[in-house]
Structure 1
């Protein structure tokens, strides 16, 4: 799986199509909650706008953890889906986009809407400041307390991201490991398997 790109920060870009304004706002995304909050915010900021359509990708666009879109009252398939298609085509992940539309008085038709919403996200992507992201996989490890130091060395060696930790009778951790580092990580963990370490990879 190849690297992909994610927004560095919130970014907004506006285009005009036949006097209709299309304001595209992108944010880095780790959960859909933030995207729906953005949609609500845009509704408050632009109460006279006719639609606030959205699209999002969580994870890498080649194999997303989740992806979706909403037409927010536009004819079905004319807004959210073309927005999502552009995000995938532009190799963008961990991203949410809301496009706010002000109707300009001229109906665009289904084809015109598809082109306009797609163009809005495409133009946004051309100017969007991004960071390159390495694809990652979620891993769960379980091990006895006495191996904490050894495990921390392994985690540091592959620069894994710790998502959660539970300390009961044993230690259980959920990690994000870059795919490029996965074999190194697995080899290091398997070398400790005889001492009670168990590894589970996300399906």
Structure 2
């Protein structure tokens, strides 16, 4: 799953009209609808508040709205950007303040699509990756070197606990769990002990 990194807004001006795209996460269609309603109330002075959202693990729920713009010139190009970027659980509202110059159907479609595309670039995208937290237990004498090896391998532990031994929790992508356990055994000469926790997710920035 790809998601926006965080909520945010981005503004551009095209031939005297202001286009302000606001993005937010929405984990359900109801949440997307509520966000749109609240945004429209807050920006009721705008000429148009056009909308698009994609919701669901597979992005199976989609909807767009032109809010008075010519049919297909606003919501559809907005939605196309979200789908093309592979995003889900996201809602976009582009608020337009008309500047007195008509853009034509093609110009409107390009403007609304560009507003969403630039907003996505501005807030960033993350990929939700399924992981398993693997707890690695080592003796104190091995801990310093092992933690250094962890960082050197690009695996930063989420938590490190010091008691009669040292335990480090490492979030490992599901396909890499067995390989990581084998690596931990190898770099500690077979002296590391591992146990797997519950599966979960981490969000990794997408370049």
Please report the TM-score for the alignment, with normalisation by the length of structure 2. 0.60
Match of 1:76 in 2: 71
Query: Which residue pairs with 1:139 in the alignment?
Result: none
Gaps of 5+ in 2: 131-195, 202-207
Give the alignment of 1:56-95 within 5 angstroms.
56-59=53-56, 63-95=58-90
Per-residue CA deviation, residues 176-198 of structure 1 (Å, 9 max, x unaligned), is xxxxxxxxxxxxxxxxxxxxxxx
In structure 2, the residue matched to 1:48 is 45
Match of 1:159, SS state, is: strand
Match of 2:199 among 159, 165, 173: 159
- Aligned match of 1:147: none
Question: Are residue 14 (structure 1) and residue 11 (structure 2) matched?
Answer: yes
Equivalent pair of 1:52/1:98 in contact (CA under 8 Å): yes
Q: Conserved in 1, the CA contact under 8 Å of 2:46 and 2:96?
A: yes
- How far apart in 2 are the matches of 1:112 and 1:67? 24
Separation in structure 1 between the aligned mates of residue 94 and residue 32 of structure 2, nearest angstrom:
12
Q: Aligned-pair distance for 1:117?
A: 0.3
Contact 1:42 1:100 in 2 (8 A): no
Q: 2: distance between equivalents of 1:34 and 1:124?
A: 20
- CA-based RMSD of the aligned residues comes to 2.0
Moved over 3 A (4+): none
CA shift for structure 1 position 39: 2.0
Determine if the alignment matches structure 1 residue 105 to structure 2 residue 145: no
SS in 1 for 2:38: helix
Measured in 2, the distance between the counterparts of 1:34 and 1:14 equals: 24
Deviations 1:15-39 (A, max 9, x none): 1111111111111111122222222
1:32-64 per-position Cα deviation (integer Å, ceiling 9, x unaligned):
22222222222222222111111111135xx42
Measured in 1, the distance between the counterparts of 2:121 and 2:5 equals 14
> Which of 123, 129, 133 lines up with 2:124 in the alignment?
129
CA distance, structure 2, for counterparts of residue 59 and residue 90 of structure 1: 15
Question: Computing the radius of gyration over CA atoms, which structure comes out larger, 1 or 2?
Answer: 2
Count of residues paired in the alignment: 136
Q: CA deviation at 1:158?
A: 5.6
Q: Distance in 1 between matches of 2:59 and 2:86?
A: 11
